[in-house]
Every structure is written in C-alpha cells, then in structure tokens.
Amino acid sequence: MASLDDLKKRIASVKSTQKITKAMKMVAAAKLKRAQDSAEKGRPYSEKMNNIILNLSEGISDKENAPKLLSGTGKDQIHLCVVMTSDRGLCGGFNSNIIKKAKSYFSRLSSESKKLKIITVGSKGNDQLKRVFGEKIIENISFKDSKNANFFDAEKVGKIIIEKFQKEEFDICTIFFNQFKNVITQIPQAQQIIPLKADINDKEKSEDNYEFEPDEDEILTNLLPKNISTQIFKAMLENSASEQGARMSAMDNATRNAGEMVDKLTIEYNRSRQAAITKELIEIISGAESL
Amino acid sequence: MSEEFKLEVVNPEKSFLSKDDVTEVVVPAFEGEMGILKDHISIISFLKPGIIKIYSKLGEEKYYIEDGIIEFKNNNLSILTSSIFNIKDVEKSKIDEMLRVAEETAKDNISDQAKYLIDQKIEVLKTIN
C-alpha cells in the first residue's frame, strides 16, 4: 500500500487537475454562448444566399453553358476533400468524429479508384491525417491567430478552392465539418459544394418570375464563388460552436471523474491513517503490558 | 393603404438591420441606381460599391456598402452584403484609409471589371468625405 505521503501528494495533484478542467469547462461554456450566437446569427445569410442561387439556377436559360461551379466539370475522377477541424485539442471526440467520417469517405473513394486530394483546415486534423494520408494532403490551412471564426478567413479558404478549381485540379469538392445540434450532440457532416448540390425543397420552390439585373448568367458567375465562401464560413461557425460544446461536455466529464477519484483517494488515505494510528496504539499497549 | 414594406440587411456575421416600415430604398445596382417602392416586381440584382438610402417615417438613413446582392419578393427586400456601415457612425480617418487602399489597388494591374468596381468605390468614398 502506498504511504500516507504518497496518497497526500496524489490527492493534491488530482485536485489541481480538477481545478484546471473546471476552469476549462467554464471558459468553454462562455465561449460556447458566443459561438452559438454567431452560428445562429450567421444562418440567415447563408439561407438567403442559397435561396437566391436556387431561384437563379431554375431561371437559367442555357443549362449547357451554365457556370462550371454550378454544373461541374462533367467528370468525377478527382475529389477534393476539405476537412475542417479545430486548432486545439482537449475537446472530446470532436476532431476524431470528423476524421472518422472523412476516412470512411476516403476509403470509399479509393475502392472506386477515384483520385483523392485533401485540404485540411485546422492543425488537429492535419496531425491525425498526415500519418496515413500524408502524400494526399495538398494544403494545410490554420487560423490559430484569429480568435473567432470570421468571414475574412472563410474567404481565404474559398479563394484557394476556387483557384484550384479553375486550374482544373479537381472535379468534385466536399467539405467535412461538425454540425452543432446541442451541447452533447454534434453531427459530422459531409457537404458537397462543387458542383453545387441544391437540396430542392418543394416548399421553397417558387413560381415567381424574377427580373434580373444584369442577366442570370452574370449574376450566377459572380455569386457562386461568394456562395463557396459563405458555405465555408457557415461550416466554420458550426464547427466552432461544436468545438466549444464538445470541449464543455468533455471537461465536465473530466471534472466529475476527478471528483470521484479524489473521494476514493481520500477514503484510502483516511483508512491508512487510521490503520497507522491503531498500529501505534497496539505497539504502545503491548509495550506497557510487557513491563 | 400603407406604402410600407419590409427590409432586412444581413451580413455573414449577423442580421445587420431589420425594419418593417420603410417606404423607399435606393440601392446602387450594377447598372445604375435603382429605387424600390412597395409592390415592385420580384427582382434579383447585383450591387456595386455605393450608398444605400433607406427612407422611412423616421427620415432618411444612409449606408455605405462595397458589394452585395438584393432580392425583392412579396414586398420583402433582402440585402446580402459582406461590408456595410452607417455613414453617420464612421470616422473620417477610416474613410481616408479605405480611400488610400483603394487608390493603391487601382494602380495595380487588375482586370477591367475589378478596375471599374474600384473606380466606383473611390468615387463614392470621395463623395462621403
């Protein structure tokens, strides 16, 4: 059995770990509130953008010559996967869930003998993927310096993707991110952004005839690159809310576990202290008796 | 009958402005300024750098925008933009700074369309100043 001193030290160290996890939980909770707010506030923009594009693509006259970003290159040989993860760890299964989702997608691609290219956003994803898919990663983007997800960063990623698309480096682009549902549930998502897969919702489908200025094609050509950035921004917002949520529940668990451990150790400490005292008493008594 | 309609301005971060008592909105559309009144035909249009004027009972409000897209449908006007601010709130030094950056960009070798947009921007910024 460990000595009293050792037990004391262990209790102290578990307690200080608990303090850290508790503090991290608090910080995550505060940040979660903010991230959740901005994720909710960001939704109208991307929804409206989607609506407009849906209306536009229905109104487009010449489907054959539609912008490539909408209709695709007509091939599906080279896939670009943008895996969006966090820059920091200690957030439970947050990163591994995305990676798992991405990896199963990758293996499906390779079984269909498609070519794969990966862009990782966030350093944690890069760390986990580079061991197996190292040579497939063509770019690693990290926004460690920016405090919150902002549109400027999303635009940077968007520009990189569009540039590569124009150079015909890939045919299909999919982004991987965690969608925030609530604090304990985050759903890993794979969303195809090039060519655009419009989820045609019958309710949203309007019979309205719009007037366009300038014409549909021109608006669409200008709008599609913007939409890519918007979708990425949306993913970033969802991701940052999910990250904080995942961290909060992970740290909550850690705090609880540490508490249990402290309790257990304290009982053990008390028992051995009592045992030591009893032992000393017996020694004294038996010493007195032998006199 | 009231002559008012709904206006919503959203940027990627949040819903910037929401009003339901506007009587007229003037937007800098791609092919010139365009005034929108109630019961306008459904329209989708691209914006160029310029000033949005919003008229309501409370008077006139002016906002500077750099780009955006508008959608008008069933007396709901949505303006999507990534850069918008109230001209009243912005400091002169910031406008100067933006003007300086814009003028520098204009000197670079850029496409005709980009050049057209940046010239517009410079002109608008000068009028605000």
Q: Is residue A96 part of a domain?
A: yes
Which position among A60, A69, A82, A91 bears the catalytic label? A91
Tokens of A106: 């990758």
How far apart CA A209 and CA A216 sit, in angstroms, is 12
Q: Is residue A109 part of a domain?
A: yes
Q: Is residue A78 part of a domain?
A: yes
Tokens of A130: 């580079």
- Predicted-complex ipTM score: 0.77
How far apart CA A159 and CA A152 sit, in angstroms, is 11
Whole-structure pTM value: 0.84
Secondary structure of residue B101 in the 3-state scheme:
helix
Q: Is residue A5 part of a domain?
A: no
Q: Is residue A287 part of a domain?
A: no
Q: Any catalytic annotation for residue A173?
A: no
In a mutational test of the B interface, the residue from A48, A54, A204 whose CB has the highest number of chain B CBs within 10 Å is A48
In a mutational test of the A interface, the residue from B39, B80, B113 whose CB has the highest number of chain A CBs within 10 Å is B80
Inform me whether the C-beta atom of residue B101 falls under 8 Å from chain A C-beta atoms. Answer: no
pLDDT tens column, B75-102: 889 999 888 888 887 777 888 888 888 8
Torsion of CA B116, A196, A37, A245, to 10 degrees: -140
CA distance A270 to chain B (A): 56
Q: Is residue A273 part of a domain?
A: no
Encode chain A (291 residues) as per-residue pLDDT tens digits. Answer: 578 899 999 999 999 999 999 999 999 999 999 998 888 888 888 888 888 887 777 766 666 667 778 777 778 889 999 999 998 888 888 999 999 999 999 999 989 988 899 999 988 888 889 888 888 888 888 888 777 778 888 888 999 999 999 888 888 999 999 998 888 889 999 988 888 765 555 445 555 677 887 777 778 888 888 888 888 998 999 999 999 999 999 999 999 999 999 999 999 999 999 999 999 999 999 999 998
> How many distinct structural domains can be found in chain A?
1
Task: List all residues 6 or more positions away from B80 whose beta carbon is below 8 Å from its beta carbon.
Answer: A45, A48, A49, A52, B10, B11, B68, B69, B70, B71
Q: Is residue A122 part of a domain?
A: yes
CATH of the domain at A28: 3.40.1380.10
> Is the CB of residue A249 less than 8 Å from the CB of residue A189?
no
The domains found in chain B, sorted by start residue, are 5-86 (2.60.15.10), 92-128 (no CATH)
Q: Is residue A12 part of a domain?
A: no
- In which order are the strands placed within the sheet that holds A186-194? A137-141, A115-121, A78-84, A172-180, A186-194
Nearest to A45 among B10, B29, B34 (CB): B10
- Domain hosting residue A150, numbered range: 22-250
